[in-house]
Structure 1
């Protein structure tokens, strides 16, 4: 088979066919001679062409001129024609620049500029007191017009970004020279020379590439834009397009995002902070780097003084009262379950509107923090040993307002809300509906029933522990959660009547007409059951849980919840008897572990093999439901409703009632007065102006559980003998990214407040430290409560 032709450069691999040693084979020699002749022919042609060109008269003149130009200059000889050389060089440079300009114009992008991804309209979620604590989506804000741009913001941007904005025509050669000099002195890029007009052009029309072509295009368009628009319009468009970090574009969106107000209401310190962000928005965004943002704002204030926009006194006053972030970008992790719920409810109420919306909700941030802390502490302490991995808690007012919600142990790991979404068997918690139905049908709390073996068809329920007590009153049977009596009552009144009672009180899950329903065999949610207990506590026919009070979009109110008017219960005698039974559970029954210092009632619930454990009860104006279990329905290690759930309920309710009591007293003490900047400022309004120690506020770091570091100052908490190690680490996690306000107390100590809750009392109540020698009576009482509950350092 013939071989394909090979390139002549590959001839070295041709196999030898004979010939003298060291001599190329005949075929190789032939190719080499042909190649050599080809090269010689080409060189000859080149030499001939060069000779013909050199013989041309113009070439001879040029050669002579070049020789004269480069011939060594002797004294008295002709000098180099520098003028013509420089002129030629400049002409060549001008030609190159003209070519670059033409190329830049020819390649201007048709649809360049910033590409902002479309996002859902933002929801700003506010707590009961109006404090914004979470956002969903990206705040878009309003597009400002020149009349709406606040003077203080315009002056701040011009002072820090382009001082000669009103003097140049799009390009500031003086600013370029100044920036180049400063960058050279700093040994790197420290200052840009682009004007506000150039920056607007780059944001609106061009890419962000750092190329010479883009800079030329930027300069051309800046000159054009200055010829088309007045300065005020250029500045306004810049403020509407600039990126301020946290995913927001535009000054109004940034003002809403960081300060919870429109741009027109910005203070001097807030305007200075926003103006300082545009140079490095991701690095200086105040929700992540508040210190860096405040430092940059101080530079802006200094620049405003230099330009004459403000006086030194105004700058100093703004530095003493720096801007504070009012709307956190990062939702507190534990509140995400609640925020998910209200976001869905808001969409159902107003739809997915194009504008940003603000929700005022029922959430009490202090109670929410207590709920998260109590549940986490118990699960951390006993979860692994008792084989329980999950828990949930919901607290509501007796009118249905949801005050706190913890839908699981860790939102980052699981967004499944175990308050609203998990359907679990309630066990004896369901007996509320059985006994209430019986009371409606003529039974009384002191009616006597027989606790004995009971059989319904082939089903024979048993009591917990397998023992029978004989004759018992309904009060005792309910308090001790006797199964046989509940089954007998359900059979007497009829399962359909029990189902009707449960539905009327708010249970919406499917309830099968089966005898086992009396012992809670149907699956329901924690929220459904808690609202039913709230209706009993409130003496109402039913209670509707709600979490949103009002929805607003800018200046428009989109939704306002009507005033709650609970329909009174028609079966008042039965309700009174039910309250008697619920109180007996905590007084003498399975719920003794949940007893608190105020009148209360509740019920325990435990399902087969300890797969679910519940406690739902009420005290004061609170109704609280607690559930513990495992998502995979695995059995727990002996956990019952009267055990860990009752302890969690007690810990939460004790602290929550104390907080609400103090808040009510504080509100009553200041009628007809606007709310102060903070509880601490209200207690001591002149603390900041007095010489010596004043009030402090900020996000602390923890030295030990009795000592904090607040803005570089050591703060010793009143009445707490601090502990290091694990206790300090847990306190640090609890206080992470949260503001603490502190007032000076006697002996150099401080009394600090977190969301209206006394921090010293919180630490002692949770067993995070020991009461110190300067502990006040209320702090000593908190320590004693921790001792009796055997929590924290008092655990045995």
Structure 2
């Protein structure tokens, strides 16, 4: 009989070489022998497949001959004929084999259902054997895949050092064997592969256990892949989910075990695995979640990281801290079961507090600012590796800006057909303290503060008047508001009327178009363009007479920085969002230098311009922007058909630019710069000034703290209601919740001052929070009604409810409650998560 293996004599085909199982202490030798056995098995499966194919061909030919009307008689003649007389074209087999094959063939012909059953059994085996051979033939080299890492990781800090966002993919440092904490490796082995130290790369027992638990659990609850298989997949295979990939994964695992030690495989796996939130490798994950290297991980932190590798996106602590903590407890229990730690050590680890270095999720509204800062940081320090960027963003002002924009648009946007707004807040040095690029980042990532170019309208008159003041005009210079024509252009006032002679101060305050056109014609449009460019406008400005009235398209940021130059006295002001960039080394990659002196605006011209800007707010088109007790200057801008409405205003410390309009450039319902934009400015500035004066810090979302409002001033109250004033007395007890703004104390109903309550699920959550806890309520204001401010454990209850997004603040709510609502809006907490 001819051998199918040309390298071996035919008499050796009956008994394949035996492999002696490796002793448990020598897994590498065992793995090599297993790999050799796998090769022999592959060759034998090939022989079986070839034989099965030949047998199937013969059976198919017999079936074709037996077809037709004479099938019964033909079959009878074949059964009656002696086997030796049957013609055959095959080589003569051995006598015993011939009799056995003929007997088997006869039985199959007499029982065709047996042949069909054998075909059903054998064909899948033949297919599987072929798939194994194909998988082995197409096996990729070890380490042939480098995981896609994407952009580098950026950790973003606010101006006070608080981390509030991350972007990109974290790489961290590659751990060495000496740097890996013992409990980290023990945790991974306990939860992912208990028999890691004893198997050869594949673990049939573990696979069958996972198969059984998944079957009784009704879903995938446990994986059957070993750590070695997972490492092989991460470094050598793609993420295709197929039987072929699983077979290749098993082959590669055997090869890894034959070439690497167990500790090397474990270390490589920890340096490669994905731990969620953009962190590849355990050191990157430790820095991403806990702000420390992997060497410094505590036992509960190591258990939390070990629990992430099964479902990193779902269990990432930044997204699902509760789920990650529950999974960490499971890891600790498995470590006890495997003897890695004692039960007492596990209990002690569970009792320790795990603190995240970053907030649970990036506040949605800050993403407009983050997009801008990411691009700016890349230009300033395009170095490889993870970086930390200290920005200029003031989280208190950012939260306030987002809140006032959302609140004002919610209240008036639909009625006035205004769907979008943008806001930029700068200091005199050009640092961007807050930025709102639109109503909702999740709906649209287009930044209307930096990317949208819209006609500036009368906002552009700043450059006309400043040029005029620098060439000899002054606020008391009188020009006549009258019909004029410059070439083919005839400018008109918004009112359609003319006021006659008036000083420039009044013409600027009332935004008289004909006077601005006359001034621009007098000083020359090229001079106006030069002034605008000198002050930081980078957009293209056409040399046409209508430029005086803002026919050019500009961005909100460049116009805001131009107005900031008037306040600073030096132009151009460099609007910036990055203060410093740090990498792995102690030396900063970038550190913003002291503000360099630009071109100074002549002192007298600057003073005249500031005087004119203040006149706009004191008695001109910007009266709605007035803030009691605070000097304010600014300028309104409105374009044709009310397509754009602007207001840029300034206080001694801040420059605030605001735009309101629609993305489709449709007209609003008679909304000018003195309407919604000026009101937004007032809403923001009057509370921002008080906030900055107090120096109050917004609660850190990373610590999960609630906002603490200042308690209402203590008042003497009687134990009985005051009949003369109608004021409610102090109420104390365990309340029932009617809604999130209304409580009941033994039948007495109390409404929380400044809170517009919500029912349903939010009310039930509040009821669970207050269960069996005492609440103390005191009158909020003098006057009738049951409006009270309540406290629980020293915290203001109304502020806690609004910060958690459990209710809306009323229009007349105190500033601290409005700020609490704005924080909830910016973080999409509670009811705002549904918007």
Q: Same fold (TM over 0.5)?
A: yes
Aligned match for 2:73, one of 36, 40, 48: 40
Going from structure 1 to structure 2, the CA distance change for 1:728 and 1:532 (only over 3 Å counts) comes to farther
Aligned residue for 1:147, secondary structure, equals coil
**What's the offset of the Cα at 1:499?**
2.0
Contact 1:375 1:648 (C-alpha < 8 Å) held by counterparts: yes
Output the CA distance in 2 between the equivalents of 1:365 and 1:371: 10
In 2, the alpha carbon distance for the partners of 1:369 and 1:682 equals 13
SS of residue matched to 1:119:
coil
Could you tell me how far apart the structure 2 residues matched to 1:666 and 1:328 are? 16
Q: Which of 416, 426, 431 is the aligned partner of 1:386?
A: 416
Indicate the residue corresponding to 1:520 in structure 2: 550
The answer to whether the aligner puts 1:303 opposite 2:354 as a matched pair is no
1:242 partnered with 2:273: yes
Q: What's the secondary structure of 2:533's corresponding residue? A: helix
Aligned pair 1:723/2:767, yes or no? no
Please say if residues 758 and 807 of structure 2, whose CA atoms lie closer than 8 Å, have aligned partners that are also in contact. Answer: no
Q: Does 1:622 align with 2:654?
A: yes
Q: Cα distance, 1:249 vs. partner?
A: 3.5
**Residues 29-71 of structure 1: CA distance to partner in whole angstroms, max 9, x if unpaired?**
xxx9995557634542344244779xx99599999xx9xxxxx
Is the alpha carbon distance of 1:666 and 1:369 closer, same or farther for their aligned partners in structure 2, counting shifts above 3 Å?
closer
- Is 1:508 aligned to 2:549, yes or no? no
CA gap 1:470/1:202 in 2 versus in 1, 3 angstroms: closer
- 1:404 partnered with 2:434: yes
CA distance in 2, matches of 1:610, 1:106: 71
State whether residues 396 and 622 of structure 1, in contact with CA within 8 Å, keep that contact through their aligned partners in structure 2: yes
Given that residues 246 and 329 in structure 1 are in contact (C-alpha distance below 8 angstroms), is that contact kept between their aligned partners in structure 2?
A: no
Alignment of 1:691-710 (within 5 A): 706=741
Q: Give the Å deviation of 1:666.
A: 6.7
Would the alpha carbon gap of residues 212 and 450 (structure 1) be closer, same or farther in structure 2, given more than 3 Å must change? closer
- 1:305 offset after TM fit, Å? 4.4
Q: Distance in 2 between matches of 1:36 and 1:682?
A: 93
Q: Which residue among 475, 481, 490 is the counterpart of 2:505?
A: 475
The answer to whether the 8 A contact 2:136-2:248 is kept is: no
Q: Is the 8 A contact 1:727 1:768 kept in 2?
A: no
Cα shift at 1:358: 3.4
User: 1:560-639 alignment to 2 at 5 Å?
Assistant: 560-567=591-598, 569-597=600-628, 598-639=630-671
Q: Is the 8 A contact 2:802 2:808 kept in 1?
A: no
Unmatched 5+ residue regions in structure 2?
1-64, 87-93, 105-124, 710-736, 744-749, 767-775, 778-788, 822-835
Residue 718 of structure 1 contacts residue 749 of structure 1 at CA under 8 Å; is this kept in 2?
no
Aligned equivalents of 1:47 and 1:328: distance in 2? 88
Distance in 2 (CA, whole Å) between partners of 1:33 and 1:571 is 111
Within 5 Å, which residues of 2 pair with 1:602-751? 602-663=634-695, 706=741, 720-724=754-758, 747-748=791-792, 751=795
Preserved CA contact (<8 Å) 2:373 2:578: yes
* CA displacement, residues 222-265 of structure 1 (integer Å, 9 cap, x when unaligned): 45534432332111111123232346542233334444554334
Alpha carbons of 1:441 and 1:133: their partners in 2 closer, same or farther (altered >3 Å)? same
- Unaligned 5+ segments in structure 1 are 1-31, 67-94, 668-674, 685-701, 709-715, 733-742, 784-796
Q: Is the 8 A contact 1:705 1:769 kept in 2?
A: no
Secondary structure of the 2:502 match is strand
Q: Go from structure 1 to structure 2 and tell me whether the alpha carbon gap of 1:408 and 1:159 turns closer, same or farther (over 3 Å shift).
A: same
Deviations 1:620-647 (A, max 9, x none): 4211111112333332211111111101
Deviation for aligned residue 1:472: 2.8
TM-score by length of 1: 0.71
Tell whether 2:236 aligns with 1:199: no
Query: Kindly tell me: are residues 762 and 585 of structure 1, through their superposed partners in 2, closer, same or farther at Cα, counting changes over 3 Å?
Result: farther
Output aligned runs, 1:72-91, within 5 Å.
none
The number of aligned residues is: 669
- For residue 405 of structure 1, give the secondary structure of its aligned residue in structure 2: strand
> In structure 2, do the counterparts of structure 1 residues 728 and 565 end up closer, same or farther at CA, with 3 Å as the change threshold?
farther
Distance in 1 (CA, whole Å) between partners of 2:552 and 2:350 is: 62
TM-score normalised by structure 2 residue count: 0.68
Q: Could you tell me which residue of structure 1 aligns to residue 187 of structure 2?
A: 156
Separation in structure 1 between the aligned mates of residue 271 and residue 566 of structure 2, nearest angstrom: 54
Residues 160 and 752 of structure 1: CA distance in aligned 2, closer, same or farther (over 3 Å): farther
- Tell me, what secondary structure is at the counterpart of 1:358? strand
**CA offsets, 1:52-91, max 9 Å, x none?**
79xx99599999xx9xxxxxxxxxxxxxxxxxxxxxxxxx
Match of 2:297 among 243, 266, 269: 266
Q: Distance in 1 between matches of 2:760 and 2:412?
A: 16
Q: How much has 1:409 moved relative to structure 2?
A: 2.7
Q: Which residue of 2 aligns with 1:768?
A: 810
1:123–1:136 CA contact under 8 A, matched in 2: yes
Could you report, residue by residue, the CA deviation over 1:196-218 in whole angstroms, capped at 9, with x for unpaired residues?
33433444456778999877766
Which stretch has the larger CA shift, 649-658 or 587-596?
649-658
Query: CA RMSD for the aligned pairs?
Result: 4.8
CA distance in 1, matches of 2:599, 2:704: 37
Q: Which residue of 1 aligns with 2:41?
A: none
Separation of aligned partners in 1, 2:151 and 2:79? 71
**Distance in 1, Cα, partners of 2:497 & 2:237:** 83
Distance in 2 (alpha carbons) for counterparts of 1:309 and 1:447: 88
Q: 1:39 to 1:501 in 2, by over 3 A?
A: same
Change (3 A) 1:389 1:451: same
Supply the distance in 2 between the matched residues of 1:419 and 1:410 (Cα, whole angstroms). Answer: 13
Q: Which residue of 1 aligns with 2:317?
A: 286
Counterpart mapping for 1:118-137 below 5 A: 119-137=150-168
For the residue of structure 2 that corresponds to 1:385, the secondary structure is coil
Instruction: Determine helix, strand or coil for the equivalent of 2:636.
Output: strand
Inter-CA distance 302–35: structure 2 relative to 1 (3 Å threshold): closer
**Aligned-partner Cα distance in 1 for 2:180–2:84:** 75
Matched, 1:437 2:437: no
Q: Does 1:343 align with 2:368?
A: no
Query: Which residue number corresponds to residue 7 of structure 1?
Result: none
Verify the 8 A CA contact 1:543 1:566 in the aligned structure 2.
no
| SS state at 2:310 partner | coil
Q: Which stretch of the first structure deviates more once superposed, 268-277 or 326-335?
A: 326-335
Structure 2 residue aligned with 1:711: none
Deviates more, 1:605-614 or 1:514-523: 514-523
- Give the conservation status (yes or no) of the 8 Å contact 2:479–2:502: yes
Q: C-alpha distance in 2, partners of 1:423/1:180?
A: 60
Q: CA deviation at 1:189?
A: 6.3
Q: What's the counterpart of residue 791 of structure 1?
A: none
Task: Label 1:763 to 1:100 Cα distance change in 2 as closer, same or farther (>3 A).
Answer: closer
2:636 and 2:674 in contact (8 A); partners too: yes
Counterpart CA distance in 2 for 1:209 and 1:677 is 37
Distance, in Å, in 1 between the alignment partners of 2:95 and 2:806 is: 106
Asked if structure 2 preserves the Cα contact closer than 8 Å seen for 1:761 and 1:778, the reply is no
CA–CA distance in 1 between the matches of 2:526 and 2:359? 50
Q: What is the alpha-carbon distance in structure 2 between the residues aligned to residue 449 and residue 162 of structure 1?
A: 87
Match of 2:390 in 1: 360
One of 290, 296, 319 as aligned partner of 2:350: 319
